[in-house]
Amino acid sequence: MMTLQANHISKSFDNHKALDDVTIQVPEQSIFGLLGPNGAGKTTLIRIINMIAVKDQGEILLNGKPMQPSDASQIGYLPEERGLYKKMKVGEQAVYLARLKGMSKHDATVKLKHWFGKFEMDSWWNRKVEELSKGMQQKVQFIVTVLHQPKLLIFDEPFSGFDPINVNLLKAEIINLKNEGSTIIFSTHNMASVEEICDQITLIHQSKNILSGEINDIKQRYKTQTYEVEYKSSKALLLPESLFHIVSTQPKNNHLAAHVKISDNATSNLLLQHLIQQAEIINFQEVLPSLNDIFIREVSPKQP
């Protein structure tokens, strides 16, 4: 297993500050979401962790020790911009790439045959890469990335170009890799996928780390004291406007559902007391913001 720390990382290109004192800590055997809009600095940080780019300041620690060039063999990296040799046969190229990671031809072939079978790709082995769709090529690259069982996996937009069935297939494999002991950094713009599989996140915006933590803790931090009540009633809800604001009301599950925001002078118990007097309550729960809502709130231009 592996813990990764990137402490106070800064990086500039000419007059552009790509990273400005960014710190992340990725716990062992976790899926860590690295988020941010285009140009925020995510890819630069990933390239520094992979020792493709050199940091200006800061340190990268693996299991508490400064990262060394020899540690590269413990990392599997699937970049957003991917490419295979178009004229090579799929199996031949996959074995070649696996051998670059230090695997023997025999071990690489055995493991590749296993993965090709798992992904129902056996018939692709002797086909040229150029005959495959983009999604099929990405499956090959995903397999090659994880084949040598690295302790740290970094996936940059791994679901790009996939249909929903294959997205679910890769999600299941990523979760399985975590359960088998891998530590995973997962970078994407798909907030729904982040909510589904990530344990913790960091949000980078304009080269700075502006938000970090466990997903549930972050949602609690951004909640707006809004509750959803699903109810049966032939009349509209009437609530004291000084205490409650009915944000919306709409049909749901053959009933009505209202979103109600409570003021600082009220409580959820008080809201429930008012509601019980007017309607049959089917469901009552606090509404937490989605990661997508939080992302948009933090990276949108602030109004003066």
Q: 102 burial class (0-12, 13-18, 19+ CB within 10 angstroms)? A: exposed
Residue 112 one-letter amino acid: L
Could you read off the pLDDT of 172-215 as tens digits, one per residue?
A: 999 999 999 999 999 988 888 999 999 999 999 999 999 999 99
Predicted pLDDT at 302: 72
Among residues 230, 227, 233, 234, the alpha carbon closest in space to that of 282 is found at 230
Statement: 4-220 belongs to CATH 3.40.50.300: yes
**Contact assessment for residue 291 and residue 215, using Cβ atoms and an 8 Å cutoff:** yes
pLDDT (0 to 100) of residue 1:
63
Alpha carbons 216 and 195: distance in angstroms, whole number: 9
- Mean pLDDT in the chain? 93
This prediction has a pTM of 0.88
Strand ranges, E, within the chain:
4-13, 16-26, 31-35, 57-62, 65-66, 75-78, 152-156, 183-187, 200-205, 208-214, 226-232, 244-252, 255-262, 280-286
- The mean per-residue pLDDT over the stretch 295-304 comes to 82
* 34 close to 185: Cβ distance less than 8 angstroms: yes
Tens digit of each residue's pLDDT (9 = 90 or more) over 266-279:
999 999 999 999 99
List the chain domain ranges. Answer: 4-220, 224-287
CB of 34 within 8 A of CB of 45?
yes
Task: Give the Cα-Cα-Cα angle 183, 187, 190 (nearest 5 degrees).
Answer: 125
CA angle centred on 29, ends 27 and 33, rounded to 5°: 60
pLDDT at 178: 96
Interhelix angle 90-100/105-118, rounded to 10 degrees, is: 130
Confidence band (pLDDT; 50, 70, 90) for 283? very high
300 compared with 240, residue with greater pLDDT: 240
Mean pLDDT of all residues in 130-152:
91
**Residue 304 has what pLDDT?**
59
The arithmetic mean of pLDDT across residues 237-246, rounded, is: 95
SS3 state at 211 = strand
| Per-residue confidence (pLDDT) for residue 227, from 0 to 100 | 97
Give the span between the Cα atoms of 287 and 133, in whole angstroms.
Answer: 41
Average the pLDDT over 71-78 and give the result.
91
Element (H, E) at 271: helix 268-276
Residue 136: its pLDDT value, please? 87
Is pLDDT of 72 > 90? no
> What region does 284 belong to: left with phi over 0, alpha with psi -120 to 50, or beta?
beta
